């Protein structure tokens, strides 16, 4: 029998009761029951048992080096589309935290009062909010206290005993509170995760399949020039290819479907070096029968030419890292809005080819080099 007292109140427990001055370095999930309130439930540690692609484990070391030097809470945002490595990197951080002696506490649901409970944990610890934009974005505020994210701002700012490392993953930056983004005082780091590059796709699929599948791997890389493939997609493709199918066959059966037009940057190249461009065009490059139309601007921003073409006539050129259409596969029409003289000058130009490249997401970090 074990007896514990809280003020004047005594409670009796069996011999399994243990008391700690500090939480052991394990992984926990926050739970809540109406009768007893908040508590922590142990769970299996978040181990990483596979090779890491597309992200840099040294960034995890950087985070914990900073945490040891910070005299206040440290925040880390992991953002990017689904399936491109955010959760895996969070697992790397969580695994390293336990190795370094920090408890890891996972918050997977919004519960009114949770901020006060987290503040009551007066020791250095790591708190992981997975899919924060989803879990703390659509939840009801419950007791008229404002939206869930706003109610955590003071927690992230907090100066309570025991500094804390807060890690949040999110798919959509638009669903994050304005007082979280561009606020390095609250969240010092923001790691953005991108879709795998051609080199990363080659490395991943070669590891999974072996060099004997190099011809099929090349097909996947070419496909990724039209459609963004995350690691979930690559894992499924690798499995199907390992079963003996050809890529053009297995892609028809997988849950990787053409549900929306993708954005592309389109450039019309002339033989004298002149180019006309249209960025972020929404095109269906898998349209086998129909035609696509693109309005192209010159270097002065004038819409001078309209190009019409069949996506089925496109060919990928690895030397240019772009999908190419030769001049004889393009139908051009000229805009006379800017006057006869400007139109005649453009008509004198001899088109060489049209290049189409999948538009990359805008870089959210400032580049200074």
Task: Considering the chain, tell me which residue range(s) the CATH 3.40.50.300 domain(s) occupy.
Answer: 21-192
DSSP string, 216-227: HHHHHHHHHTTS
Report d(CA 161, CA 73) in Å as an integer. 10
Look up the CATH superfamily of 21-192.
P-loop containing nucleotide triphosphate hydrolases (3.40.50.300)
Q: pLDDT per residue over 64-123, tens digit each?
A: 999 999 989 999 999 988 888 898 999 999 999 999 999 999 999 888 899 999 999 999
Question: In the structure encoding, which two tokens stand for residue 114, read together?
Answer: 């949770």
Q: Does residue 164 have a pLDDT over 80?
A: yes
Q: Closest by alpha carbon to 268, among 355, 359, 358? A: 355
* pTM as predicted: 0.79
Q: pLDDT per residue over 140-159, tens digit each?
A: 444 455 678 887 888 887 66
């Amino acid at each position: 029998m074990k007896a514990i007292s809280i003020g004047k109140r005594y409670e009796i427990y069996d011999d399994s009761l243990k008391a700690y001055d500090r939480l052991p370095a394990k992984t926990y999930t926050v739970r809540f029951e109406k009768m007893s309130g908040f508590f922590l439930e142990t769970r299996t540690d978040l181990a990483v048992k596979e090779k890491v692609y597309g992200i840099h484990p040294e960034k995890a070391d950087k985070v914990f080096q900073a945490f040891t030097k910070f005299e206040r809470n440290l925040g880390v945002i992991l953002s990017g589309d689904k399936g491109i490595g955010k959760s895996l990197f969070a697992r790397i951080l969580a695994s390293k935290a336990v190795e370094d002696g920090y408890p890891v506490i996972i918050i997977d649901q919004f519960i009114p009062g949770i901020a006060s409970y987290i503040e009551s944990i007066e020791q250095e610890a790591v708190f992981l909010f997975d899919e924060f934009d989803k879990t703390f974005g659509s939840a009801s505020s419950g007791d008229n206290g404002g939206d869930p994210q706003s109610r955590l701002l003071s927690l992230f700012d907090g100066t309570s005993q025991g500094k804390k490392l807060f890690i949040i993953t999110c798919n959509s930056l638009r669903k994050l509170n304005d007082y979280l983004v561009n606020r390095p005082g609250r969240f010092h780091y923001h790691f953005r995760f991108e879709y795998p590059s051609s080199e990363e796709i080659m490395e991943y699929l070669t590891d999974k399949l072996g060099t004997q599948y190099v011809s099929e791997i090349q097909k996947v890389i070419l496909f990724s020039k039209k459609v963004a493939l995350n690691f979930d997609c690559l894992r499924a493709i690798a499995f199907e290819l390992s079963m003996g199918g050809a890529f053009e066959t297995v892609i028809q059966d997988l849950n990787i479907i053409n549900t929306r037009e993708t954005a592309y940057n389109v450039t019309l190249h002339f033989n004298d070096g002149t180019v006309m461009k249209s960025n972020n065009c929404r095109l269906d490059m898998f349209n086998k029968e129909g035609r696509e139309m693109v309005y192209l601007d010159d270097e002065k921003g004038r819409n001078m030419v309209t190009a019409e073409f069949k996506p089925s006539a496109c060919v990928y050129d690895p030397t240019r890292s772009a999908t190419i259409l030769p001049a004889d596969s393009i139908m051009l029409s000229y805009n006379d809005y800017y006057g006869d003289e400007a139109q005649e000058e453009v008509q004198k130009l001899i088109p060489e080819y049209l290049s189409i490249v999948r538009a990359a997401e805008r870089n959210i970090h400032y580049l200074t080099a």
